[in-house]
Structure 1
């Protein structure tokens, strides 16, 4: 088992959790209940949940126009894409 495959399960679980929290926040917003802080959602994205965050935004139509949240989430996704590209380039 290589290093990459060891990371897949934790990353999959983190992204599932991120999507769940976005959905939970959307439901809370609709119910006018206490919300999940944006800092919490962005932290989940930053630690590896950016694919789940972007997918959840699209699926649940949640926080799609919210600024500066949208810009920060995009920057996190760009950072992750850069890290993946750099790591992938070093593999070959």
Structure 2
């Protein structure tokens, strides 16, 4: 199975979780997914009053410089780790 196929399978696996991951786990998943899919964050930073968007932006921005393939691999491993708790 190729890296892209494993990445897509991991993204689908999250939808089968029976419990909701913590906010920090969800933000980490979001950041790794965005880095794997789009690369470095080049969007403008949201205003300080939009707390949800700011948190997502901050988590994605922490991934800056990580290659898309490395982010895909890390995403796959993180989903597998979370699966033990949420499936």
Highest relative contact order (Cα 8 Å, sep 6+), 1 or 2? 2
Q: Is TM more than 0.5 here?
A: no
- Relative to its length, the structure with more helix (as a share) is 1
Q: Per the shorter chain, which TM-score range? A: 0.3 to 0.5
Q: Which protein is bigger by CA-based radius of gyration?
A: 1
